[in-house]
Amino acid sequence: MVHEPSTVVIVPGLRGDVPEHWQTILADRLPRVSVVDSFQRDKRDLTGRIADLQLAVDAIDGPVTIVAHSAGCLVTAHWARLTPTPVRAALLATPPDLARPLPPEYPTLGELRESGWLPVPTERLPFPSIVAGSSNDPLGEEVLVRATAANWGSHFVDVGAVGHLNPAAGYGDWQLAEPLLEALDAIVLAGARDADGALPPLS
């Protein structure tokens, strides 16, 4: 059976349209890509972000692989609970744990709870996924991110001391993004839906 290539859907976190962000750089390199346009939304607006993701996925004819960063990982998890729309897989990079107050430029935990972000979904995702976790993420304690990955049925990959994997931490081009997408594709081909299977080696 021919393995049809995916269109990658980029799900940003609570940021603007930043040219030097690794998701922007990755999108410029990929042949089939759609960027979810939530950049102008209020940071508290989870419902709107879920609708934006649904709109992006609905516009694609063929398989979809999600690449989410930061709060975009939480948008993806909330969206997956609400939609029967199938996607092939997801790469979820440095999700925040929302277990402690965020920096001043972000909403308060109370505001996030009122907007539906909290509690963080604990349901198993209905598609294969990799959670890429940082060992020194100021917004996501590694032990909590590992627990979230386990709840989601995701492979957890420790990508090292990359902070929150954003321009403030020096990223920029993230060289592991495409090898992780290749590993995710290998998981799909092998039929390993969740973290019970072995993660293929990164090239």
Question: What domain range includes position 39?
Answer: 7-190
- Is 14 inside any structural domain? yes
Q: Report the predicted TM-score, pTM, of the whole model to 2 decimal places.
A: 0.93
Q: Is 156 within 8 Å of 131 (Cβ atoms)?
A: yes
Q: Please indicate, yes or no, if residue 201 is contained in any of the structural domains.
A: no
Q: What is the pLDDT of residue 28?
A: 96
Kindly state whether residue 197 falls inside one of the protein's structural domains.
Answer: no
Q: Are 93 and 73 in contact (CB under 8 A)?
A: yes
- For residue 69, the cross-strand partners are 93
Cα(91)–Cα(128) distance, integer angstroms? 9
pLDDT in tens, 34-50: 999 999 999 999 999 99
CATH of the domain at 42: 3.40.50.1820
Of 16 and 122, the structure prediction assigns the larger pLDDT to 122
